[in-house]
Amino acid sequence: MTNRLSTLLAGRPAVFDGGYGWLLQERGLPMGDCAESWNLTNPAAVDALHDEYASAGAVFITTNTFGATEPRLAQHGLAGRAEEVNKAGATVARTVADRHGALVAGDIGPTGELLEPLGTLTPEAATALFAEQVRGLRDGGADLLLVETMSDLGEARAAVAAAREVAPDLPVVVTLSFDTNLRTMMGVDPASALAALAGDGVDAVGANCGRGPDEMLSIAGQLVAGRPQGLLLVAQSNAGLPELDGDRFVYTVGPEAMAEHALELRDLGIDVIGACCGSSPEHTRAMAAALATG
């Protein structure tokens, strides 16, 4: 079976963009406001950041919709507007991607609710929440769906089920966040994630966020060792961990070090490479340049 993401890339470098939330805060997003609200109220600022990433060499532009499920939006006065917020986010990214010949990754993060038995959210209800988000992303022009920063494999699979239901033709990428002992907060290890998600028919599986490049290399090694045939692998590390510098937090890994990390991931066998929290278009530029010439 042909991998839909490989077909979509058509030989282009598989470079993802990087962080968004902290950069939008630096550009004026009020503390405590959700970044996704700017898809409606300040789309020009979101467009500008997307454009910086695309200009830096990112082939995948991630929509500003990480927290755009109903439970998270309702906490910020946007109840009942999930589909609208997601469509707006995808539309902004689509405009930028078309200017640069890039691809739009419709971003889907955790709902913020716990699935049964730890919480009250059923898998069916989670799928319904994600389906609303997928409809907006699809209608706004997403090329693929990125289910990211998941710790509960059940929640990740609910998002995949929503993608199959609402947008069956779009490639699906799933990344989990592995931390303690190279497991997610819910105890999922890379091999278990690979097996389950490959069985669900996704196109790529990997890891994002975490504690930094060194830990990501260990996780990547496990992903490569357990890779099912035909599945692409993804890695998007944080730029280290934040440290307090005066009155603001700064991340410890700069663009040059992230570029070296990108080459290590590629040489290990990772197919799709990007960055996560603490990264910026400068990190993406360094990583894309290294992958193009290294």
Alpha carbons 19 and 276: distance in angstroms, whole number: 5
Q: Which of 88, 56, 28 lies closest to 280 in space, CA to CA?
A: 56
CA distances from residue 145 to 4, 131, 201, 210 in whole angstroms, order as listed: 12, 12, 13, 21
Is the bond preceding 213 in cis, omega lying within 30 degrees of 0?
A: no
State the SS3 of 74-117: HCCCCCCCHHHHHHHHHHHHHHHHHHHCCEEEEEECCCCCCECC
How far apart (Å, rounded) are the C-alpha atoms in residues 164 and 187? 26
Half-sphere exposure of 122 (CA within 13 A, CB side): 3
What does R_g of the chain's alpha carbons equal in angstroms?
Answer: 17
DSSP letters for 26-81: HTTPPTTS-GGGHHHH-HHHHHHHHHHHHHHT-SEEE-S-TT-SHHHHHTTT-TT-
**Tokens in use for 118?**
């730890």
Give Cβ neighbours of residue 39 (< 8 Å, ≥ 6 apart): 46, 64, 65, 68, 85, 88, 89, 92
The answer to the question of whether 34 is labelled as a binding residue is no
Q: What phi and psi, each to the nearest 5 degrees, are found at residue 66?
A: -50, -45
* Contact in structure between 18 and 283 (CB atoms under 8 Å): yes
Distance CA 52, CA 238 (A): 19
Q: Which residues are annotated as a binding site?
A: 209, 276-277
Q: Which residues are annotated as a binding site for Zn(2+)?
A: 209, 276-277
